[in-house]
Amino acid sequence: MNHKLPPYHYTGGRKTEAGRPTILFIHGAGHDHSVWTLQSRHFASHGWNVIAPDLPGHGRSAGPQLDSIEALADWIVDFASRLGLGRIALAGHSMGSLIALEAASRAPELISHLMLIGSVAPMPVAAPLLDATLSNRDKAHAMINQWSYAPRAQLGASSIPGMNLTALNERLMLRQAAGVLHRDMAACNAYTGGFEAAARVVCPSLILSAALDRMTPPKATAPLAAAFPNTTSLRKLIIPGAGHAMMSEAPGAVLDALWNFVCAFPSSAQEPR
């Protein structure tokens, strides 16, 4: 592949070491590695290699931005292979979950666990939002904040005292270059291969939803869950009280879900092939 490695990926503050299990976090549309701060630091402090890249054209990573889920999945597989750390666990949020799903289906020998957070397939984007990402960036950000957060967060409640979660998310989206959010949303809207990808996944898998998610509601995960061939290693979990932005609204609950899941299937992560 010709995609160069990103100039930046976060490691949770720890150096990577051969022989340790590895988890790779994939952010969603218009975001970067920073959405995973709590979860990545915990894994890094408890014996795991952590890799949280900024996708091409996002955050601190150079472009060009890739404009399809399939291309992004190939990029992730190439990036993960070049790490030389053996098999890895993949965790992806929203758009990142589609990338993780497609990557796990394309490289089953590389992926030890699959964790889909705020995920449905297909993942259509409402036409007014898709249009706004192209024509009115401020309006698009306001719509995303309205649909991504539970009512408590909309009123200023925060998992981090003194922090306004919707304002933080707006600043994060503003940090991305013009056009990034539109291409991300268009890639989600165009992706139709989710069921076929799920049918090829062989590793233990988690579908993590939030009870108040209006973008990818828990009830909409049923068709995707049904597409996985091995139901004995498939877990579904719903976090109460949070919306689509569950990593910021309920960071501890998300961390517990991911940690408990990988601990339930430990040998897969610790046996590189």
**Domains in the chain, CATH or no CATH each:** 9-123+190-270 (3.40.50.1820)
- Provide, rounded to the nearest whole percent, the portion of the chain with pLDDT above 90: 89
Each residue's pLDDT tens digit, 179-200: 999 999 999 999 999 999 999 9
Q: How confident is the model at residue 267 (pLDDT cuts 50, 70, 90)?
A: low
Alpha-carbon distance 19 to 61, whole Å?
27
> How many other C-beta atoms lie within 10 A of the C-beta of residue 171?
11
Mean pLDDT value across the chain: 93
Q: How confident is the model at residue 63 (pLDDT cuts 50, 70, 90)?
A: confident
Q: How confident is the model at residue 213 (pLDDT cuts 50, 70, 90)?
A: very high
3-state SS, the chain, equals CCCCCCCCEECCCCCCCCCCCEEEEECCCCCCHHHHHHHHHHHHHCCCEEEEECCCCCCCCCCCCCCCHHHHHHHHHHHHHHHCCCCEEEEEECHHHHHHHHHHHHCCCCEEEEEEECCCCCCCCCHHHHHHHHHCHHHHHHHHHHHHCCHHHHCCCCCCCCCCHHHHHHHHHHCCCCCHHHHHHHHHHHCCCHHHHHHCCCCCEEEEEECCCCCCCHHHHHHHHHHCCCHHHEEEEEECCCCCCHHHHCHHHHHHHHHHHHHHCHHHHHCCC
Each residue's pLDDT tens digit, 134-182: 999 999 999 999 999 999 999 988 988 888 999 999 999 999 999 999 9
Residues of 196-231 as b/e, b for ≥16 C-beta within 10 angstroms? Answer: ebbebbebbbbbbbbebbebbbbebbeebbebbeee
Alpha-carbon distance 240 to 9, whole Å?
31
Structural tokens at position 246: 């569950």
